[in-house]
Structure 1
Amino acid sequence: MYTVIEVEKLANTAIVTIDNPPMNVLSHQVAAELCEAFAELEQSDDVVCVILTGKGEKAFMAGADIKEFPQMMEGAQPEQSSKKGEVFRVINSFPKPTIAYLNGHTLGGGLELALACDIRISANEIQLGLPEVKLGLFPGGGGTQRLPRLIGEAKAKELMFTGNSITAEEALHLGIINKIADQGMEDVLKMAAKIGRHSLQSLRRIKEAVNVGQEKPIDEGLALEAKLFKEVFETEDVKEGIQAFIEKRHPVFSHR
C-alpha cells in the first residue's frame, strides 16, 4: 500500500514512520503518502494519538528532496509542489493529537513537518535547523509562520537568517521541543498512552480551541472555548467521565 512510509497501530496509537533512505527527505511521494495515511487515520475510530517519526537513526527528515528542485524551477511539477505544501496543512489540522519523535537530524522541511505536529520529542544527539537560506531559498512549509509563534520573532529570524543548526538541548531551552527522550521511542509511547486514555471528544476540542483561538483576539478565542465547552457536555464521554468520578472508578471512553 505504501512505499516510502510505514503505518503501525499499537492499542489506540498509530506510528507513522517515514522510510525514504538514507535521510528520509521529503519527496513528492513521501508527501503524498503522508497525506493519504493521515486521511485514513482521521477516520480510524480506534486511533486516538499519532506518532510521526523517521526510519533509522540518521534523520527524522533532512529536508526536501533537492533532486526535485530543478524540475520545480522549470514549473514542470505544479501538482508535486502543491502536494508538498498540502502535507503541512494536513498534519497541522489533523483533529487528533500528534507527536513528532525526532529520532535523528531534523532540518529544513523536516523541522517544518515537526512544527506542524502538536508535541515534539527528540533523541539526544541530533541537530535541528532551517538551512534553506544557504541555497538561496527560505522555509516555505510553514517555518516562517509557526516557528516565530513558538519561540518568538527575534530568535526565529536568527535561525532562519543564519541557517545555523542547533542541538536538542538548545531546542529544548528555546521551546521548540517538549522533551528529550532518554529511553527513545519507549518514552514517546508512554506519552501517547497517557494521552490515549482520554476522550477524543475532549482532545480534539482542546486542539481546536488552541489552534484556532491563538489566531484570534482573546475575546473571540474565549467565545470559541465557550462554544466548544458547551458542545462537549452533549457527548456520551462526558457523562461517562462524570459518572466514573462519582463511582470512584476509571472512565471507559467510547469517543462519542
Structure 2
Amino acid sequence: MYETIKTELSGSIFTITINRPDKLNALNQQVMQELALAIDEVYTNKDIKSGIITGAGAKAFVAGADISEFLTLSNEQGAGLAKRGQVIFQRIEDSPKPIVAAVNGFALGGGCELAMACHFRLASDNAKFGQPEVNLGIIPGYGGTQRLTQLVGRGKALELIMTGDVIPASEALSLGLVNHVTTAEELIPKTRAILEKIHTKAPLAIAKVVKCVNASFDKDLNGYETEIQQFGACFGTKDLQEGAEAFIKKRAANFTGQ
C-alpha cells in the first residue's frame, strides 16, 4: 500500500516508519501523502489505540524536506506546500489517540516539525534537533515557528530558528523539547511502555485531554472553557462509571471507551 513509509500494528500500537533511509528519510510530497493516509488510519481503525512515528535506519528520524522539490516553486506554490503540510501535522496534533515521536537520529527542518506535531517526543542519545531553514533562505513552514515557541519559549525558539543551530538530544531534553532520552536500543521499547500505560486509562478522557491542552494554544478558543465543557462531557459515560466503581472497590478499571 505504501512506498515511502512502513506501518505495523502490534499490541494496539500503530508504528509509522518514514522509510527513505538512503535520503535520510527526507519528506517529499509522496511521503506527506502517505503519512496523511496513515494518520487517517489511526483515526478510523478501532484496533489502534495509539501511534508511534519514527524513521528507518540508524542515522535519521527525518533529516528535513526534500529541497529539490523547492527549486521551481512560485510564491503561491510555496504557500500551498506549507498549507498542505500544516494540515497534515495538525491532524497529528489533534489526534484523539496519542501519537508519539520516537526520534532515532537527525530531526531537522520538516523532521523537527513532524516530531513537534506529535503529542510528545522521546529521543535516542544520538538524536539531533534543529530548524536550519534560514541556511537555505527560507523559514520553517510546517508549523515550526509556532510549535517550537510553545515548547521552548520565545527567546530560545528565536535563537534556534535564526541561527539554524542543531542541538543534541541532551539539550533538547533540558529545554523540554523531548520528554526522555534513551539508548538507540531502548527507544522503541521505552516509547511502547509509556503508550501501554496510557492504554490502561480511559480512552475518552485521553481524547479530551488532547483537546483541552491544544485549546490552550488556540487563539480562537478559551482553554478554561474548553476544559469545563470536556470535564462535563465525561459525566454519563460508561468509562467514568467504571473508573469510579473500580476506585471504590480497589480494583483495576477496565475501560471500553464508551
Scaled to the shorter chain, the TM-score interval is over 0.9
Q: Which residue of 2 aligns with 1:113?
A: 114
Q: Which residue of 1 aligns with 2:252?
A: 250
Name the CA distance, whole Å, in 2 between partners of 1:83 and 1:147.
19
Name the CA distance, whole Å, in 2 between partners of 1:97 and 1:50.
6
Structure 1 letter corresponding to 2:200: R
Alpha-carbon distance, 1:165 to partner:
0.3
Alpha-carbon distance, 1:241 to partner:
1.1
Alpha-carbon distance, 1:81 to partner:
5.6
Trace 1:46-195 onto structure 2 (pairs within 5 A): 46-73=47-74, 82-182=83-183, 183-195=186-198
Change in Cα spacing, 1:5 to 1:217, as seen in structure 2 (3 Å) is closer
| Pair 1:28 & 2:15 matched | no
Alpha-carbon distance, 1:239 to partner:
1.0
Q: Which moved more, 1:12-21 or 1:108-117?
A: 12-21
Unmatched tracts of structure 2, length 5 or more: none
Report percent identity of matched pairs: 38
Superposition TM-score, scaled by structure 2 size: 0.93
Aligned-pair RMSD on alpha carbons?
Answer: 2.0
Change in Cα spacing, 1:221 to 1:77, as seen in structure 2 (3 Å) is closer
Q: Which moved more, 1:129-138 or 1:237-246?
A: 237-246
Unmatched tracts of structure 1, length 5 or more: none
Q: Is the 8 A contact 1:32 1:83 kept in 2?
A: no
Name the CA distance, whole Å, in 1 between partners of 2:30 and 2:204.
32
Alpha-carbon distance, 1:84 to partner:
3.0
Name the CA distance, whole Å, in 2 between partners of 1:15 and 1:78.
30
Superposition TM-score, scaled by structure 1 size: 0.93
Q: Is the 8 A contact 1:72 1:78 kept in 2?
A: no
Runs of 4+ in 1 over 6 A off after TM superposition: 74-79
Q: Is the 8 A contact 1:50 1:97 kept in 2?
A: yes
Q: Which residue of 2 aligns with 1:234?
A: 236
Alpha-carbon distance, 1:184 to partner:
1.9
Q: Which residue of 2 aligns with 1:199?
A: 202
Name the CA distance, whole Å, in 1 between partners of 2:18 and 2:64.
12
Q: Is the 8 A contact 2:13 2:48 kept in 1?
A: yes
Structure 2 letter corresponding to 1:229: F
Q: Is the 8 A contact 1:12 1:48 kept in 2?
A: yes
Name the CA distance, whole Å, in 2 between partners of 1:74 and 1:117.
28
Structure 2 letter corresponding to 1:8: E
Q: Which residue of 2 aligns with 1:13?
A: 13
Q: Is the 8 A contact 1:28 1:84 kept in 2?
A: no
Structure 1 letter corresponding to 2:225: A
Change in Cα spacing, 1:173 to 1:81, as seen in structure 2 (3 Å) is closer
Name the CA distance, whole Å, in 1 between partners of 2:66 and 2:44.
30
Q: For residues 13-69 of structure 1, give each alpha carbon's deviation from its aligned partner in whole angstroms, at most 9, with x where no partner exists.
A: 111111022200111011001111111210112222111111111100001001111
Name the CA distance, whole Å, in 1 between partners of 2:209 and 2:239.
15
Trace 1:218-233 onto structure 2 (pairs within 5 A): 220-233=222-235
Alpha-carbon distance, 1:78 to partner:
8.0
Name the CA distance, whole Å, in 1 between partners of 2:28 and 2:195.
27
Q: Give the match's secondary structure for 2:72.
A: helix
Q: Which moved more, 1:154-163 or 1:46-55?
A: 46-55
